[in-house]
């Protein structure tokens, strides 16, 4: 690189070692000494925000293009800084844990800039022109989140595929449908499985919506008042893949609404996983025995040799609480903050990263558990007791012209007699209908689970044909033959 820049030699031209220490702090000039170690320990965010190093470099690469277009940098300076940033990227990519542990910089922005001073000492000092860490960190975090949503979407689809495949195998498997956790009416096992598919479908929509709101570019807002150089923010938006630019610099550096939305969307995913998990814990117990977990997703007891525990599902149930905690915690951080950037906002990243990592670990394990589940057809069918046909019996009477309220009353009385006498509801119904019922009603038709299910063929119902339509609809919502990743 030839030294073409005019004006005095940039300060960054000093030997890297000489500048390294002050550059660990980007704001050292007006301070007499280094921060107290306990202050540094509290204030430093590098251990958390280091995972945004790629986004930080991407933001800086775009920023120098905008500075050059604004006439702030020469073409040579721009390319020198860009090459320096690429070298910094390669270095960080190769960094192992000890390298990160040895870096004492305040945050990822300080670290990247310090390394840039090592890689491009002549020009590095010009990178931060017109920019603040306030608009920089908001940009980096949004970029990170935009990628994270894509990753989560893929993980959710993994679970949706597991549910779909099980549902396809079990359209004709009959089981009790529950309300109030009391046996209510017979349903297809596929109908139950798919009842856990659709909440995840809504989660994906919610995450995509949260991503849309994250994809608004704050860069070019400076610390609070905007950028005094004529940077083209639309150009920046294009380069970085954002959808729009923020309209107000004060709001741009302070807005974390999109973080709250993402945290909510993620905690709702967690809530859905916890409900699926609870179903599976129950259904896997000896008392239900509807499902059996694969050995690969069960754990043993150190004391009781016979135990096979559904730990993965219990953890799924518990993690929802942690996710909700992150949401509540961060909402409380936001509440009552004054305008503009405040350091409180640094707490957005632990909340986001923790929530993301939780789901990132959870979703594949839940998908594996569901995918390898064995559903016991006969245990499911055996749990359908005759009282569950009480509605079908009433419906039969309705078909014979009895008003529903009256039919409900009549069948209710029969159920009570059956409970008190110990006689079967089916036998009682046959007798009752023979003596008092409308002539052509055959009560045995009501007591057949397959027929009961078949009758519920309106859209969204549990009849095999309706479930097959639903499966087609569900298949269309996920990427075909999704392999994970
Ligand atoms: N580490 C900070 C954060 O995550 C970066 C922004 C710091 N800005 C400041 N004015 N101190 O929020």
Query: pLDDT tens digits for 47-58?
Result: 999 999 999 999
Beta-bridge partner residues of 299: 309
Using 70 as the pLDDT threshold, list the residues of the chain that sit under it.
Answer: 1-24, 436-441, 481-485
Q: How far is Cα 40 from Cα 318, in angstroms, rounded to an integer?
A: 34
Using CA positions, which residue lies closest to atom 7 of ligand 1? 133
Q: What pLDDT sits at residue 463? A: 98
Residue 342 Cβ contacting ligand 1 at under 6 Å: no
CATH no. of 134-382: 1.20.200.10
Question: Residue 341 C-alpha to ligand 1 middle, in angstroms?
Answer: 8
Question: Residue 381 C-alpha to ligand 1 middle, in angstroms?
Answer: 60
Q: Give Cα separations from 162 to 191, 281, 336, 466 (angstroms).
A: 14, 17, 44, 20
**Is 435 a residue of the active site?**
no
Backbone angles phi, psi at 60, to 5 degrees: -70, -40
Q: How far is Cα 470 from Cα 456, in angstroms, rounded to an integer?
A: 13
Residue 137 Cβ contacting ligand 1 at under 6 Å: yes
Residue 309 Cβ contacting ligand 1 at under 6 Å: no
Residue 45 Cβ contacting ligand 1 at under 6 Å: yes
Residue 351 Cβ contacting ligand 1 at under 6 Å: no
Q: What pLDDT sits at residue 132? A: 98
Q: Which residue, 25, 251, 28, 242, is CA-closest to 140?
A: 242
Instruction: Give the pLDDT confidence of 422-459 residue by residue, as tens digits.
Output: 988 888 888 887 776 666 667 778 889 999 999 999 99
Using CA positions, which residue lies closest to atom 4 of ligand 1? 346
Q: Which residue, 57, 86, 69, 66, is CA-closest to 237?
A: 66
Question: Residue 138 C-alpha to ligand 1 middle, in angstroms?
Answer: 9
Which residues in 306-452 belong to E strands, given as ranges?
A: 374-375
Q: Strand, helix or coil at 172? A: coil
**Is 459 a residue of the active site?**
no
Question: Residue 234 C-alpha to ligand 1 middle, in angstroms?
Answer: 24
DSSP result, 228-292:
SS---HHHHHHHHT-SEE-S-HHHHHH--HHHHHHHHHHHHHHHHHHHHHHHHHHHHSTTT--EE
Residue 139 Cβ contacting ligand 1 at under 6 Å: no
Q: Strand, helix or coil at 185? A: strand
Q: Which of 34, 285, 294, 301 is flagged as catalytic?
A: 301
Q: Say how many CA atoms lie within 13 Å of 332 toward its Cβ.
A: 7
Q: What pLDDT sits at residue 49? A: 98
Residue 333 Cβ contacting ligand 1 at under 6 Å: no
Q: What pLDDT sits at residue 433? A: 77
Nearest atom, ligand 1, residue 108 CA = 1
Q: How far is Cα 290 from Cα 379, in angstroms, rounded to an integer?
A: 6
Probe residue for ligand 1, chosen from 133, 140, 333, 350 as the CB with the greatest number of ligand atoms within 8 Å: 133
Question: Residue 137 C-alpha to ligand 1 middle, in angstroms?
Answer: 7
Q: Confirm if 220 and 233 have CB atoms less than 8 A apart.
A: yes
Nearest atom, ligand 1, residue 107 CA = 1
Q: What pLDDT sits at residue 13? A: 40
- The architecture of the domain spanning 28-129 is Orthogonal Bundle (1.10)
Residue 77 Cβ contacting ligand 1 at under 6 Å: no
DSSP result, 32-50:
SSPPPHHHHHHH--HHHHG
Q: What pLDDT sits at residue 2? A: 40
Q: What pLDDT sits at residue 439? A: 62
Backbone angles phi, psi at 122, to 5 degrees: -65, -35
Q: How far is Cα 225 from Cα 51, in angstroms, rounded to an integer?
A: 28
Q: Which of 180, 378, 421, 459 is flagged as catalytic?
A: 180
């Amino acid at each position: 690189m030839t030294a073409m820049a005019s004006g005095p030699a940039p300060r960054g031209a000093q030997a890297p070692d000489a500048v390294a220490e002050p550059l660990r702090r980007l704001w050292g000039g007006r301070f007499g000494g280094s921060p107290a170690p306990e202050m540094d320990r509290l204030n430093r965010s590098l251990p958390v925000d280091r995972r945004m190093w790629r986004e930080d470099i991407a933001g800086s690469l775009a920023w120098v293009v905008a500075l050059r277009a604004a006439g702030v940098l020469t073409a040579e300076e721009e390319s020198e800084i860009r090459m320096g940033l690429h070298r910094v990227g390669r270095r960080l990519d190769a960094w192992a844990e000890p390298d990160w542990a040895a870096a004492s910089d305040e945050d990822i922005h300080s670290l990247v800039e310090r390394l840039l001073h090592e890689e491009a000492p002549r020009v590095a000092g010009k990178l931060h022109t017109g920019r603040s860490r306030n608009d920089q960190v908001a940009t980096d975090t949004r970029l990170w989140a935009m990628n994270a949503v894509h990753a989560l979407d893929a993980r959710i689809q993994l679970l949706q595929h597991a549910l779909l495949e099980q549902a396809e195998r079990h359209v004709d498997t009959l089981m009790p449908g529950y309300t109030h956790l009391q046996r209510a009416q017979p349903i297809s096992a596929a109908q139950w499985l798919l009842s856990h598919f659709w909440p995840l479908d809504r989660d994906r929509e919610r995450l995509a919506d949260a991503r849309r709101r994250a994809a608004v570019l704050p860069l070019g807002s400076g610390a609070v008042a905007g950028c005094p150089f004529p940077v083209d923010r639309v150009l920046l938006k294009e380069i970085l893949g954002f959808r729009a630019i923020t309209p107000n610099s004060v709001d741009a550096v302070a807005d974390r609404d999109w973080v709250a939305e993402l945290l909510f969307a993620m905690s709702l995913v967690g809530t859905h996983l916890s409900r699926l998990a609870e179903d599976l814990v129950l259904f896997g117990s000896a008392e239900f025995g509807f499902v059996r977990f694969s050995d690969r997703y069960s754990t043993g007891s150190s004391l009781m040799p016979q135990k096979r525990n559904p730990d993965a599902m219990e953890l799924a149930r518990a993690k929802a609480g942690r996710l909700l905690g992150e949401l509540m915690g961060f909402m409380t951080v936001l509440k009552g903050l004054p305008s503009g950037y405040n350091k409180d906002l640094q707490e957005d990243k632990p909340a986001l990263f923790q929530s993301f990592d939780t789901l990132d670990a959870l979703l594949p394990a839940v998908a594996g558990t569901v995918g390898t589940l064995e559903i016991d057809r006969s245990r499911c069918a055996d749990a359908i007791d005759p009282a569950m046909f009480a509605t079908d019996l009433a419906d039969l009477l309705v078909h014979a012209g009895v008003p529903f309220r009256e039919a409900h009353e009549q069948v209710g009385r029969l159920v009570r007699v059956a409970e008190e006498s110990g006689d079967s509801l089916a036998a009682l119904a046959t007798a009752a209908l023979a003596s008092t019922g409308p002539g052509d009603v055959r009560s045995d038709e009501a007591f057949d689970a397959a027929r009961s299910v078949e009758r519920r063929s309106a859209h969204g119902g549990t009849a095999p044909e309706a479930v097959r339509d639903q499966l087609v609809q569900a298949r269309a919502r996920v990427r075909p033959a999704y392999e994970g990743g």
